[in-house]
Amino acid sequence: MIFILLQLIFLTSCVSGTFVVNVTQTSYQAEENQNITLEWTFSTRRDTSLRSISTICFLFAETRTYVLFHLLGGVESPESQDPEFAGRVQWDKDVLTEGRLTLHVSRFRTSDSGFYGCDILVTPDGTNSRRCWLNVTAAAELQTQRPTESPLPESWRDIWIYVGLPVTAFLLFLFAAVFVLKVFLTKSPYWKIYINEDVQTMSSLENLTQII
């Protein structure tokens, strides 16, 4: 750990204004157990060799700081890596001399949220660093969804709106009118007189039939 701190002080003291380090994304969003690729870019020359590149990457979490990745003279130093990230970080060796530091981090945890920063040193060009933010959320629980009926096509809905509704309203109105008329006629005195006359007529016809 003392060696890492000394190297960090050395890198910070060698910051060069002409040497530029950037992040491809300033913020990332991930879910628990998801894999994310973090990438930094930096200025290089055509004759930049792998041995001239060193870097230390950190996670500045809420609780403490973790060593995510350590590369010294183009050679990975796994003993400097924090046990929390052991076996979870892979890097692309082929693109490093092209000015791309790519870290593939797997099996994220919610405690991995925080700022990820890399201090990159290219000899003799200089050194610089950049940070990005990563937020890890808990994995969403799977919810069983009930099968839903497919909605009616637009044409059928139009037919129902312009034809079905008016016809239904007309039938309801007709039924109500017949019901009211029936009630009115049943309670009307004229209707009772008509019924009495009809009954008397039927009685006369029956008597006439018996006589014949």
pLDDT of residue 16: 46
CB 111 within 8 A of CB 85: no
Determine which helix (DSSP H) or strand (DSSP E) holds 127, and give its type and residue range: strand 126-137
pLDDT of residue 140: 73
* Residue-range domain boundaries for the chain: 2-137, 171-212
Tokens of residue 109, six digits: 């945890």
List per-block mean pLDDT (blocks of 10 residues) for the chain, which spans 212 residues.
Answer: 40 59 96 96 92 97 95 95 95 95 96 97 95 92 46 58 67 63 56 50 49 50
Write out pLDDT tens, residues 52-72.
999 999 999 998 999 999 999
pLDDT of residue 37: 97
Question: Which residues is 3 bridged to in the sheet?
Answer: none
pLDDT of residue 162: 66
Cα distance between residue 44 and residue 50, in whole Å = 11
Cα distance between residue 179 and residue 97, in whole Å = 92
Residues with Cβ < 8 Å from 134, sequence gap 6 or more?
27, 28, 29, 30, 36, 38, 112, 113, 114, 115, 116
Top CATH class, 2-137: mainly beta
Q: Which residue is associated with the tokens 């969804």?
A: 145
Cα distance between residue 199 and residue 185, in whole Å = 17
